[in-house]
Chain A
């Protein structure tokens, strides 16, 4: 099992550009989530999904969109990148919200 994979590992964008961060898991997990990590602020929940076709907003959803068309994939879209979105992004998956979450290796995003 590859576990949770994220691509790309690094990305530099200009303000206003859009892009999609990819996340995939091969553990047949129903629950998937996206977090951003900034110094001193821990992991903040952006969006999450309890199963295919179902998504919901987390703590900091503005500027981000998600979709969950399959159990395996949970892409995160930045609509119009802003410098405030410079961060490390982690995708995670688990069987449910009350079981261990497995995190991907992260994507380091810089918005100039």
Chain B
């Protein structure tokens, strides 16, 4: 069945350093890949997304890359700040309109 894997499960970086989170998906028909940030006690919120016809997308300090051949995509956060500390989820829109999430990455930015 459809599956989205995500690594690492926890990530700790110094303030100002970069953070990278990687995801792989199993359904080759997937064509939409959003990333969500979840703060404690709240629902997830979209931070960036990418469609299958694009290889890279950037929004200020956040960028996402997509490799359709290898079926993996990555989130890059540069110049990390303490407020970037949260749980990050990747997701993939698979066949039959399902949006499947990865297990999440808990990011800690140390001041």
Contacts and interface: CB of A to CB of B under 8 A. Distances in A.
Interface of A: 4, 31, 33, 35, 40-45, 48, 50, 56, 58-59, 90, 92, 97-98, 100-101, 103-106
A40 B93 contact: no
Query: Which 10 residue pairs spanning A and B have beta carbons closest together?
Result: A103-B43, A42-B103, A98-B32, A43-B101, A97-B97, A100-B46, A42-B104, A42-B101, A97-B93, A103-B44
A101 B42 CA distance: 14
Contacts of B31: 98
Q: How large is the interface on B (under 10, 10 to 19, 20 to 34, 35 or more residues)?
A: 20 to 34
23 contacts: A31-B97, A42-B101, A42-B102, A43-B89, A43-B91, A43-B101, A44-B101, A45-B98, A45-B99, A45-B101, A56-B96, A56-B97, A56-B98, A59-B98, A59-B100, A97-B32, A98-B31, A101-B34, A101-B44, A101-B46, A101-B99, A103-B43, A104-B43
Given A40-B9, A100-B46, A104-B43, A45 B103 contact: no
Contacts of B46: 100-101
A67 to B, nearest CB: 18
Nearest to A3: B43
Interface of B: 1-2, 6, 9, 31-32, 34, 36, 42-46, 49, 51, 89, 91, 93, 96-104
